[in-house]
Amino acid sequence: MAKLDSLCRQWAPRLLSVLHIITGFLFMQHGAQKLFGLLGARPGGPPPSLSQMWFAEALGFFGGLLILVGLFTRPVAFILSGMMAVAYFQAHAPRGFWTIQNGGELAALYCFVFLYLSAAGAGPCGLDSIWRRGRT
């Protein structure tokens, strides 16, 4: 059991880096789809410039890109966590209590993954960590 615990402690920072990379990659696809009309664009085209939806999609794409590379991870993840909470309560919660019924599973999951990343950072493979190592 001690060996397994040691192995888990050794791999935890690396898996944190995998989490930020995969989360950023998946999240920025939503922004690219809605903001730029890529990847199976939604009907109606991109949102009107400077609307709430436009800001959300810009944050989705560029925030996802920053999370992907692990740059400014903590503040960006905190902002994205709040954005996903707003998205959940504005778009999904009015449709019902259960996330499986109101279509809010992704919004809720992203909210808490970003909240975790805002506390944990990007791990050893993020640009934040690489930049910090280079300055010391």
CB distance 18 to 65 below 8 Å: no
Nearest to 91 by CA among 114, 110, 72, 116: 110
| Predicted confidence (pLDDT) per residue in 9-25, tens digit | 889 999 999 999 999 99
pTM: 0.89
| Predicted confidence (pLDDT) per residue in 76-102, tens digit | 999 999 999 999 999 999 999 999 999
Instruction: Indicate whether 136 pLDDT > 70.
Output: no
Q: What are the residue ranges spanned by the domains of the chain?
A: 15-135
Q: Out of 36-40, 42-46, 120-124, which region has the weakest mean confidence (pLDDT)?
A: 42-46
